[in-house]
Amino acid sequence: MIANTPHPPYYAVIFSSIRSQNVEGYSEVNALMNQLVFKQDGFLGMEAVQSELGVTISYWRDLESIKRWKENLDHQDAQIKGRKTWYSHYKVRIAKVERDYAFTT
Amino acid sequence: MIANTPHPPYYAVIFSSIRSQNVEGYSEVNALMNQLVFKQDGFLGMEAVQSELGVTISYWRDLESIKRWKENLDHQDAQIKGRKTWYSHYKVRIAKVERDYAFTT
């Protein structure tokens, strides 16, 4: 689903990743993170697509809410497991959405 | 592949889409657009992932180079075909990347 975000400005965190071969424990932690992130103050929506490359974009009200989510203890634990186990490479980009427009049939 | 972008600031154009059933002519036009975009002045890289939801993120030096690509005549033709044929919904977000960091094994 395309995230139903409010009028700009708001923030996007673009997480682009290449997985390792090791998926041990991934599904459980990913499901938990999805549950938790939706409860975060300032969270506006998410878009996630996975093929060889994974791209997850989460949308946020402001930099403070992004920072709080990054520092969430369960999320920190998941980040450590991610670097140890599930990802061979990733890049995180924090971007301010200045403008958006939509098309629908 | 994760795009090898320079140090921020730079811009991201996030194109999130839901396809229609009609794929007629899509591959050819998509291949042509990929060729053309890489030649655009100010283009920095691209990440594209497709499942039920499609997400294509292109990275750009500045708003001017984004505008020039949007107004490119071949690209305009593709945009019209996209709305007529290939997409049932899409959203475009223009965002300024303020910060990024990477992990690699």
3-state SS string for A30-92 = HHHHHHHHHHCCCEEEEEEEECCEEEEEEEECCHHHHHHHHHCHHHHHHHHHHHHHHEEEEEE
- Residues A43, A58, A86, B53: is their CA dihedral positive or negative? positive
Query: Tokens at residue A89, please?
Result: 């490479």
pLDDT at B105: 87
pLDDT at A63: 98
Region B11-15: what's the mean pLDDT?
A: 98
Alpha carbon of A36: minimum distance to chain B alpha carbons (Å): 22
Contact A53 B49 (CB under 8 A): yes
Question: Up-side HSE of residue A52: CA atoms within 13 Å toward CB?
Answer: 4
Alpha carbon of B98: minimum distance to chain A alpha carbons (Å): 5
How many other C-beta atoms are found inside a 10 Å radius of the C-beta of residue A6? 12
Q: Kindly report, residue by residue over B21-51, the tens digit of the pLDDT.
A: 999 999 999 999 999 999 999 999 999 999 9
pLDDT at A105: 87
The helix or strand, by DSSP H or E, that contains position B87, with its residue range, turns out to be: strand B87-104
pLDDT at B75: 97
Distance (Å) of CA A17 to CA A9, B59, B102: 26, 16, 10
Interface test with B, best of A20, A49, A64 (most B CBs within 10 A): A49
Domain boundaries defined on chain A: 10-97
For chain B, the residues whose C-beta falls within 8 A of a C-beta of chain A are 1-3, 5, 8, 12, 14, 16-18, 20, 47-51, 53-55, 57, 83, 87-105
Q: Which ipTM did the prediction report?
A: 0.96
**CATH architecture classification, B10-97:** 2-Layer Sandwich (3.30)
Contact B17, B98 (CB under 8 A): no
Phi first, then psi, for residue A75 (nearest 5°) are: -70, -40
Q: Which residues of B touch A14 (CB under 8 A)?
A: 12, 14, 57, 97
**Per-residue tens of pLDDT for chain A, all 105 residues:** 999 999 999 999 999 999 999 999 999 999 999 999 999 999 999 999 999 999 999 999 999 999 999 999 999 999 999 999 999 999 999 999 999 999 998
